[in-house]
Structure 1
């Protein structure tokens, strides 16, 4: 089932503008990631889901599609302790943004980026090429679960 939200439509348009074929497999991957857009999803989970739908699809095809979608800024990937994960990139007008990322479940909360002017004051003679800011830890649900399991 294809989503009809503005950012989903923008993602499809981005693919079309880059002459990427809109296949059932790619649409299914985008749907899955869009519906989990607040999480970094393990590539193995995406692979498992797509192979249930498309039994002849290989892990390499899944990985190549994630890689291609990342190059187009439709998804973001991050390496976690338990492997590579992908997240639907929902803010096409703000590719440089910050996150809190739960290291356990992959939940993501968007954050305002620290002021570049504040950073420049602390390192006045440095040349800043790009800024990347992430806060890592455990989300409230994982903290509760951890405390309940004790």
Structure 2
């Protein structure tokens, strides 16, 4: 997505596009690594010397609140971020820590015995050993 398109996308979701917000969103769009606040801060501080870790944290929370990004909390102590907001799942390798996306067909998902509840969010997390680590172990 081009910078002008990012600014328009943020505006369409009620977010005032600043240089820092555009750069952080552009960074999220350019990676599938599901980065943490620390990773984003370290990678962008050379481009934006005035950037603070607090700004990154607050911007990501703003993105999540306005549904242009998702927070992924597979481990209690670690929040990661994803610009893909369409329904999908995440797999975390317990050996190398890499997180990968996987597709989910929600039309085939069958939930039972939930009673009269309203589901407002869904998160699909799987843990195991990724293909690369499996190969190294054999």
Q: TM-score range by the shorter chain?
A: 0.7 to 0.9
Give the TM-score taking structure 2 as reference length. Answer: 0.76
C-alpha distance in 2, partners of 1:60/1:77?
16
1:110 aligns with 2:103: yes
The equivalent position to 2:132 in structure 1, one of 141, 145, 150, is: 141
Q: 2:13 touches 2:68 (CA, 8 Å); kept in 1?
A: no
Q: How many pairs were matched up?
A: 132
C-alpha distance in 1, partners of 2:13/2:67?
12
Q: What RMSD over aligned residues (CA atoms) do the two structures have, in Å?
A: 2.8
Q: 1:41 touches 1:86 (CA, 8 Å); kept in 2?
A: yes
C-alpha distance in 1, partners of 2:91/2:55?
27
Once the two structures are superposed, residues 23-76 of structure 1 have per-residue CA deviations (whole angstroms, 9 ceiling, x without a partner) of 22212111111111x332122100111212112211111100000011111111
C-alpha distance in 1, partners of 2:13/2:106?
29
Higher helix share: 1
Give the deviation of 1:12 after TM superposition: 3.6
Once the two structures are superposed, residues 103-142 of structure 1 have per-residue CA deviations (whole angstroms, 9 ceiling, x without a partner) of 41122122222645x32xx31x711311624131243234
Q: 1:77 touches 1:85 (CA, 8 Å); kept in 2?
A: yes
Q: 1:98 touches 1:113 (CA, 8 Å); kept in 2?
A: no
Give the TM-score taking structure 1 as reference length. Answer: 0.71
Task: Decide which moves more: 49-58 or 78-87.
Answer: 78-87
Runs of 5+ in structure 1 lacking a partner? 92-96
Which residue number in structure 2 is paired with residue 100 of structure 1?
90
